[in-house]
Amino acid sequence: MRALSKSKLMAFRQCPRRLWLEVHHPELRADSAATEASFSAGHQVGDIARRLYDPKGKGVLLDPQTEGFDVALARTQELLQSHQPIFEATLRADGALALADVMLPVRRAGKPGWRMIEVKSSTSVKDYHRDDVVVQSFVAHRAGVALAGIALAHIDSTWVYPGNEEYQGLLREEDLTGEACARGTEVRAWIADARQVLSGKRAPVVSAGRQCGTPYECGFLGYCRSQEPQAEQPIDWLPGRLGKGLQAHIEAHGVSELRDVPDELLNERQQRVKAVTLAGSLFFDQAGAAAALSAHRLPGYFLDFETIQFPVPIWKGTRPYQQIPFQFSVHRLSRTGKLAQQAFLDLSGADPSRRFAEALLAACGERGPIFVYNAGFETARIRELAERFPRLAKPLLALNERVVDLLPVAREHYYHPNQRGSWSIKAVLPALCPDLRYGDLQGVQDGGMAMEAYLEALAPQTSATRKAEIERQLLAYCALDTYAMVRLWSAFTGTTLSV
């Protein structure tokens, strides 16, 4: 039987059914854009790690996918006799296969050995990383590697990129030698149990649940859900955290329908979602919504940002995974009801931050409420810009003083059964303003697509024609976001727009 790779053992640790499907029906897997993005982040961080751990470029990078596993295994054994860094060292022992991100030759107490480092694109060490390292360590030990230490290197999210391709300090190491060496027997049990699962003729029966998104989003979720009876009005639509009593009730009684959840186990908002869903009719406390917004007089600004983040920063003065705004749209509604829009979008490839901050200040004027949807996001970006550009800090922070969040107003006073437990603007809009449809937009239709489009526009191989098309799509998408807010505000306040 073929050796089980570390990723297969990790799949087994997440869910035995996932392992079985990955081996017997890989064609059923459909990874989300978020999963693809995390693979891409892993590759970017891996590339930088090789530069950091081998600044003189003396190491050897193996590529078992291209050269074949048997060749990579044999080359690893040869390289282990040398004294140069090895990347993707390929090791097999006791029915398991592992690729080591980084192997560095060291001397401990006069003896040659190897320091093994697993590189992760996350910003901390998670429990499943520890399992990952335990498997690496087990295979390396059993393959006869003289391990002198095992560490996990992850991104230091507080590090600031100084520019000039200088990435020293991006990664922070945590030594896991003791733990990794002490848990070898667990790995033996995982291998035996995983083999048992794989020998079955059918996939183990496991209901979709929390394990489907923890620690990784499982690409078989669509398939698994399609095999299960679908709840008509699932309890997944309940917003917020489920109380302990409710969780215990769900587990004890196998509850999947909202109608079967006792009211006394729900908080006020959850009770409303349940009641509205079962009744199939709208809840709209328009008077309450209008009262909540009555203190904020026109002229009003309706603001939305689009941002990009890089695990490995590309612009000086920015941190890993920092959300960097590259686009905004502002709709301004005057006292007389005149509506005008301004937009900013930088597709130059240079750090857009300063130009963004200056354009934002110019577009938002000096007084009047600034309506946003989910204010924490925009206000945090404005605070970060203020930190980066101290000379603009005062007027930028003054913008935050004017921010009014429409999301809590929607949460408190509006719910349509079609929202299915969500108050995202895209969930609220269809019932309130059915003429505004994100689905009608060409290309970019959500924030994730905006990020992808931005990266595509920056790529050197993107043609000028395509870049112009992306620009149009991004501008149309962000403008719809802010116009949608104008319409929400109009419905909440009971104001008729003259446009």
Report the length, in residues, of the chain: 499
Q: Distance between CA 184 and CA 137 in Å, rounded?
A: 8
* Segment contacting ligand SF4 by CB under 6 A, of 114-122, 219-227, 334-342, 365-373: 219-227
Token couple for 498: 């003259």
The token pair at 210 is 């929390």
Does position 11 interact with ligand SF4 (CB under 6 A)? The reply is: no
Cα-based distances in Å from 336 to 297, 425, 453, 482, 496: 12, 26, 37, 19, 12
**Phi, psi of 173, rounded to the nearest 5 degrees:** -100, 145
Between 30 and 468, CB nearer to ligand SF4: 30
Q: Is 472 helix (H, G, I), strand (E, B) or coil?
A: helix
**Minimal distance, residue 183 CB to ligand SF4, in Å:** 23
- Single residue of 103, 224, 292, 345 touching ligand SF4 by CB under 6 A: 224
If binding means CB under 6 A, how many residues of this protein chain bind ligand SF4? 13
Structure tokens at 252: 């004890």
Q: Which of the stretches 100-108, 204-212, 263-271, 393-401 binds ligand SF4 when contact is defined by CB under 6 A?
A: 204-212
- The DSSP H or E segment spanning 332 is strand 324-333
Using rule CB under 6 A, residue 220 touches ligand SF4: yes
Which residues, numbered 12-71, are part of the site for ligand SF4 (CB under 6 A)?
Answer: 14-15, 17-18, 21
**φ/ψ of residue 270, rounded to 5:** -65, -40
| Binding status of residue 145 toward ligand SF4 by CB under 6 A | no
At a CB cut-off of 8 Å and minimum separation 6, what does 142 contact? 93, 94, 96
Residue number with CB closer to ligand SF4 (221 or 392): 221
Using CA atoms in the order 221, 225, 231, 233, what is the torsion angle rounded to 10 degrees? 40
Is residue 341 near ligand SF4 by the rule CB under 6 A? no
Q: Which residue has the tokens 């913008």?
A: 399
- Per CB under 6 A, 211 contacts ligand SF4: yes
| Cα 229 versus chain centre, distance | 29
How far, in Å, CA of 441 to CA of 423, rounded? 21
Q: Which two three-digit tokens encode residue 101?
A: 């991100």
Question: Residue 17 or residue 92: which is nearer to ligand SF4 going by CB?
Answer: 17
Interface residue with ligand SF4 among 60, 221, 403, 475 (CB under 6 A) is: 221
Task: Select the span of 90-98, 180-188, 207-215, 249-257 touching ligand SF4 (CB under 6 A).
Answer: 207-215
The residue behind tokens 């667990």 is: 186
Nearest approach in angstroms of CB 200 to ligand SF4 is: 14
Find the shortest distance in angstroms from Cβ 31 to ligand SF4: 12
**From the CB of 39, what's the least distance to ligand SF4, in Å?**
17
Stretch that binds ligand SF4, among 145-153, 216-224, 322-330, 399-407 (CB under 6 A): 216-224
In this complex, which beta carbon is closest to ligand SF4, that of residue 9 or of residue 147? 9
Residue 73 interacting with ligand SF4 (CB under 6 A): no
212 touching ligand SF4, by CB under 6 A: yes
- Short-list 461, 373, 382, 353, CA closest to 422: 373
Q: Smaller CB distance to ligand SF4: residue 219 or 313?
A: 219
Where on the chain is the footprint of ligand SF4 (CB under 6 A)?
A: 14-15, 17-18, 21, 206, 208, 211-212, 218, 220-221, 224
